[in-house]
Structure 1
């Protein structure tokens, strides 16, 4: 088997990992770093690979929510007050990570994109999720009444706080989905609604990140890199199609405790493996 074929198999595996974890509160970037490190995935632009294959996942969620997305776009152009408010909230939630990411993302990647950081953030994030999910009621955080049961009921203040929570996900292992969903629940958004808002917020956030990284590092991509990105992109798209519907069905009946414990156990196991390998 040629070196290129091995590289493409690894890219396919990472694409599946991306699609399965992007919309779960377990950190897709953290999983990509851990799996990529253990299978020794090498690319001249591996950080670009990690960001761009997320496009496969986001296109999958756009396809699943296509009717609601068309309704949102059409209603906004027609100046429907409900859709205008929803669009406003998405913009408000998007801006904090867009501004902070534009200024600091290079430094963040240099400092934090390594397995050791992922181990810590996986465990800490899992503990926070367990705390937030202590109340098994209608998907609310401890001491916080649910004041938004539907996407249309989310206020601009709640959207802004979800946007700031999303900034935490720039550190790998934190989880963009986890930060926005748990952040939303802490602000009084019902669990399933917080999950759906997180999915919609992912669209502009991930599209912007992929476009920015592709533009900035396009000259560094070799033909092999591009081929690996295409393979990872396709794998991420189809695996995300499966997982997004499953997540929505799961959170309508269950809490996120299972994922919290998964994060903690995974972080401990990976930490022990890293220690043994050192």
Structure 2
């Protein structure tokens, strides 16, 4: 039954993924530093927070990567405009800051040879649980199964309608994600809200998404992953490639190498209609060596 009474909050955060939870925690800390009284509510359409955190990295959650912020920008983001966009965020809250935050909740990390850092537990849920604990310690009200249906601006306040309640707020933070992996709750709601308030949005395309192929890999390979494989796409003489872990799925490929390349593949397919995929599953071994193994 809907509560028709308008509930006022200083800050409403819409979306309890990694960004939304971090925003709520940071807002509380900022308010505490300024000595200001501040009520914060986190609205999440799913039944619990951190849905994508729990499935990231194949359920192990590669939380960050070693290196300085500048090294992360140069090695992790190949496009200059992306580096400019992310520079302030990475210097404002670095990978070291994130590790310190997780360690404060007892989450230790393990560094792989390729520089990726995972929780030592091997469970992505330990990262999500750490953020939940930080939210509770920050006295952030969390409301789940609360899908936002409408955001209106009247005077100095925003009015937010969910399936169960009405809120007014001085500040609304949109942290709803994009439109990928809709079964986790990212169906583009926040983008529609942002557009309604005059924000300009570029057309979205696949990025950090599994790669589906016309002819999927053999079913017996589904679920098998390979470390440090080469993955490339070619269309009209143009070639893009990545190196990293590859996971065979029943519809194509996933894993870091495929996810990282998915944006380029989507752009090639949009421009040229299709793309050919190539994989070097054993980059450390030559053809002659593999031929000997086969015989």
- Structure with greater proportional helix content: 1
Structure of higher RCO (CA pairs closer than 8 Å, 6+ residues apart): 1
**TM-score range with shorter-chain normalisation?**
under 0.3
Mark the structure with the bigger radius of gyration. 2
TM-score normalised by length of structure 2: 0.24
Write 1 or 2 for the structure with the bigger share of strand.
2
